[in-house]
Amino acid sequence: MNLKDLLEKRKSAIIKCWFDLVVETYPLDTSQFLKKQKDPFANPVGATISQALKPLFDEILNRMDHEAIAAYIDPIIRIRAVQSILSPSQATSFIFFLKKAIRENLRKELKDIEISNDLLVFELKIDEVGLIAFDIFVKCREQVYTIKANDRLNRAFGAFKRAGLVTETMDDTQGL
């Protein structure tokens, strides 16, 4: 049996392990909630992560279409980009947890040198996905900072306007 067949055969266990590793990046009480609460309305973060991992795994295993990968990663990254408790490396690290999930589920099979070599090649695909995730994260953080900067400018302008320090001209209001 080759690596791809093994990954297909153990897909459910690998994805469950991957999900557990991802949610363990959150504080303990949050992690437990994300694992236990199955209602997507009560647990949108857990549902988003759970719904993205299976098709993402399939994409890495089969086609490696960058656009599809970006579409699966984007919702998870958006959530993690606005969470100030996570550094950029922590926010994107969930991709690399797939390596650990695979190794934990194929421990015995990895003694076969051919399977082990195939896994090294497969892990390069995971690294490539990690770079895609980082690019998405940077764009999301840029959007967050732009929104924050614009909000602060609007607040300052509003305060100056209320204080009578600035007035709107006709040119300022035409674009509104």
At 176, the pLDDT band (50, 70, 90 cuts) reads low
Q: Is the pLDDT of residue 145 over 60?
A: yes
The rounded percent of the chain whose pLDDT value lies above 90 is 66
Q: Is the pLDDT of residue 85 over 80?
A: no
What's the predicted TM-score (pTM) here?
Answer: 0.81
d(CA 56, CA 99): 14
Q: What is the mean pLDDT of the chain?
A: 90
Q: Residue 170: its pLDDT value, please?
A: 52
Q: Is the pLDDT of residue 1 over 70?
A: yes
pLDDT digits (tens, 9 = 90+) for 22-79: 999 888 998 999 999 989 889 999 999 999 999 999 999 999 999 999 999 999 999 9
d(CA 42, CA 1): 41
Q: How is the chain split into domains, by residue range?
A: 3-166
d(CA 152, CA 87): 23
